[in-house]
Each structure stands twice: as structure tokens, then as C-alpha cells.
Amino acid sequence: MSEYIEKILKDIKAKNQNEPEFHQAVQEVLESLEIVLQRHPEYRSLKILERMVEPERVIMFRVPWMDDQGEIQINRGYRIEMNSAIGPYKGGLRFHPSVTLGILKFLAFEQVFKNSLTTLPMGGGKGGSDFNTKGKSDNEIMRFCQSFMTELCRHIGPNTDVPAGDIGVGTREIGFLYGQYKRIRNESTGVLTGKGINWGGSLIRPEATGYGCVYFAEEMLKTKKTTFDGKVVAVSGFGNVAWGAVQKVNELGGKVVTLSGPDGYIYDPDGVKGEKVDYMLKLRSSNKDAVEDYAKEYKVKFVPSKKPWDMKVDVALPCATQNEIYEEDAKELLKNGCFCVCEGANMPTTIEAYNIFRDAKILYAPGKASNAGGVATSGLEMSQNSMRLPWSKEEVDRRLHEIMIRIHNTCITTAERFGTPGNYVNGANIAGFLKVADAMMDQGLV
């Protein structure tokens, strides 16, 4: 690592204490950018990196709400407006008890590069709350969402900042948030994406992240002259992204043998297919935080407190959350014959685990490239909202597929151009960076 990059990292750690996920995300990107800075000293003299690691704006607010027992509860709400160089801030909202400022800053930082890769005009942002949806009634969730939006609505707008879903935020939550925005602002606009299909949403948005991830993995497999047909696949998580990924793997002839939750993982040697895929939706809406019920329902093996990385598989699609593949897991995956890891989640792989994959020269794609299909389809929802014309399922899916192929090719050509052929991490970080950096330079001291 160059002295310059080391100094930036040191300063970030000193200035943003107790935000290890943010440090991790920044370190991964900066390491990829060394070679860019050697070729383009202007980014250094104009302090582009120092500017990019500082959010344009951070909003932090109180969210008071009343539970079903009539007791007052207080949560903390956030919106990180990271970078608007190429378009309005865009990125999801996460409701999960593990949410902190540092987690949302890592996600907002990743989002800037991801959105740049989609080729659509979207800046980067992220928000959310430490609110736990688990065990809450619909009414409690509604009251929470209404209170959250009562503050957030001052800061967002269809041309300013356009939130969407993430962990713990699906169509139900987006509905409550959208309803409240409309009551306060008296405007029907595309201020949120992931909306219901009858009130401005886009077809394919619910499936988009998972589909996009598998489209990306399909391109990766093509570089090794192979396909999903007959491949055995490990998926982690059982939420929105995992659900879309499982559907598309099945469609392409692969077999998904695992799903996981915070409680452990299930192993289904016949494959998660048919009605079992619909059962995933039930699991998610049960608000129970557990995947074990799947094992009971379909009489398959449940492995408590473990991640699904110790099974014999060809492909792994981590789709649950950050830092779920550690160094030992990476070694285990390699030992079991896995040769393609394509991230549906954001930053599921630690830097040490990534180094193992890189050194083994297996196919490995970082989430900011391979899970960009979700936000790309959000961008397509924004286009449809602006035109006030909905597209068919086929039209949206075709555009999503094209975007994923384009992102894949951009990663490949950029990695090659900067001397590290086959390295999707460098390809994604460098290509994502160049567009945003050049836009910032064009716009003066922003």
C-alpha cells in the first residue's frame, strides 16, 4: 500500500472511530485505486479520494412511535447522502437492530460505485434505523414508518434523494412510508422505489437483485465456457435477494441446496424449487428471524448456528448480510470445490477471505457489481415514473439483463486495462470510481 493511501486510511480511522465496516469498505476500494492514481496524479492533487470518503451530508434523527401496549418507543433514524456527482442520491433503507452510523456509511459508500456502474444517472445514499421489525404487528410497523417519514420527508424528493428497500424494508414498509410522504407533501412522485405495482412500482423490481446477481454469475461462468446447467449452488439468507436468486438459478438449470438465517442453515439435497420457493416468502413475512421452519416443513437437515459454506457446491451466492464469509469459510468453500462466488449481499466477504479467493484465482464478484441489478431496476422504476408509463415485465427484465451484461463487461475490460485481468474487484472499483471522479472534477470544488 502506498504511503498516500495509508495516510488516508489512517485519517479515516481516526476521524470515524468505531465504524469498522466503513473502514473495511473504504480500504477495499482504495487498494484497487493505487494504480489509477499512478496513472492519473490529478485525482490526487485535487483530493478526490479525500472528498469521496466524506459524506456530502449526514442526517440523524429521533423516531418516536407508540407500540400496541400504548408505550412510547424511541429509535434512531439516519440518511447518509454520500455523493450526488452523477445524479440524485439513491439507495435503500435498512431497518435492523444492528444498524449503526458506520454500517450505513459503508453501505452508502459502496452505493456510490455501484450506482455509477449501472450506467444510470444516480448518486449514492443509504439510510435506515435500528428498529427491529421482528415480532412487531403491522400497526406498529405502520406507526414507526409514519414517524420515520415525518422527519425524512424534509430531506428527500424525486430529484434530490430517492430511498428504496434493503434488509427489513420491503413493499409493506415502502407502502407505509410512501403514504405518509404523500399526505405531508401532497405530491404523487417517484420519491421512493420498490413501490407496489398498483401505485407506481415497477414489474421485476422485487426479483431484480437476485435475478441480476445470477445474470452476472452466468456471465462469469461463460468466461470459463460453462453454464448454470447442472451446477450445485449454495445460497445464504432467505430474504428478498435470496428469493430472486433461487428462482433464476432454477430457471437456468442449477440446483440450490442451502438457505440460511441468523439461526443456522438448511440443506435440501433435492433443491429449493417449486412451492418451496414460495415458502421462502412465507418465512420472510413470518417476522420470526429463522430458517429452521423450512427444515421442519420439508423434512430436510437443519444445521444450527452455522453458515452454509461447508457443503460441496460449484457456486456460492451469499445473499444475507455483510461479513458472512470469513477466511476459514473461504478455505472451506475452496476445499469443497466451489469455483465461483458471486455476491448478492453487500460486502458479505471479509478482506482476508477475498485475498484467499484472489490468490486461488477463482471467479469472485463483489456485490457492488453483481448486486447492482436491484438499484438498476430502481432506476428503471424512476424512468417509468417520470414518463408516467409502465413497462412490461419482459421490457424491464430485458433492460436489467442488458445492464448486468454491460457491468460484467465493464469489470472485465477495466481490470484488464489496469493490469489485473480477471480481477472483478479492481474492475468494479476502478470503473465505478472513474465516472464519479471525473464528474466531480467537471463540477468544480464539490
Name the residues annotated as catalytic: 126
Distance CA 387, CA 279 (A): 36
* 87 vs 91 by CB, closer to ligand 2IT: 91
Residues 81 and 161 sit within 8 Å (Cβ to Cβ): yes
Distance CA 124, CA 89 (A): 5
Q: Is 203 in the site for ligand NDP (CB under 6 A)?
A: no
- Closest distance of CB 437 from ligand NDP, Å: 23
The one of ligand 2IT, ligand NDP, none whose footprint includes residue 429, by CB under 5 to 8 A per kind, is none
Could you give the string, one character per residue 143-182, with x where binding to ligand 2IT holds by CB under 6 A and - elsewhere? ---------------------x-x----------------
Q: Is 98 in the site for ligand NDP (CB under 6 A)?
A: yes
Set of cell numbers at residue 147: 414517524
CA-based nearest residue to 121, from 343, 344, 365, 378:
378
Question: How many residues at the interface with ligand NDP, by CB under 6 A?
Answer: 25
Q: Is 123 in the site for ligand 2IT (CB under 6 A)?
A: no
Start-to-end Cα distance in the chain: 27
Residues 28 and 352 sit within 8 Å (Cβ to Cβ): no
Q: Is 346 in the site for ligand NDP (CB under 6 A)?
A: yes
Beta strands in 206-344 (DSSP E): 232-236, 255-261, 264-267, 301-304, 315-318, 340-342
Q: Is 265 in the site for ligand NDP (CB under 6 A)?
A: no
Distance CA 252, CA 257 (A): 15
- Closest distance of CB 370 from ligand 2IT, Å: 11
* Contact pick of 180, 193, 209, 370 for ligand NDP (by CB under 6 A): 209
Could you give the string, one character per residue 266-305, with x where binding to ligand NDP holds by CB under 6 A and - elsewhere? ------------------x----x----------------
The one of ligand 2IT, ligand NDP, none whose footprint includes residue 193, by CB under 5 to 8 A per kind, is ligand 2IT
- Closest distance of CB 373 from ligand 2IT, Å: 9
The continuous run of DSSP H or E covering 76 comes out as: strand 72-83
Distance CA 159, CA 190 (A): 9
Q: Is 193 in the site for ligand 2IT (CB under 6 A)?
A: yes
Give the strand pairing for 363-365 and 340-342: parallel
Tell me which residues touch ligand NDP (CB under 6 A): 92, 96, 98, 165-168, 209, 237-241, 261-262, 284, 289, 319-321, 344-346, 371, 374
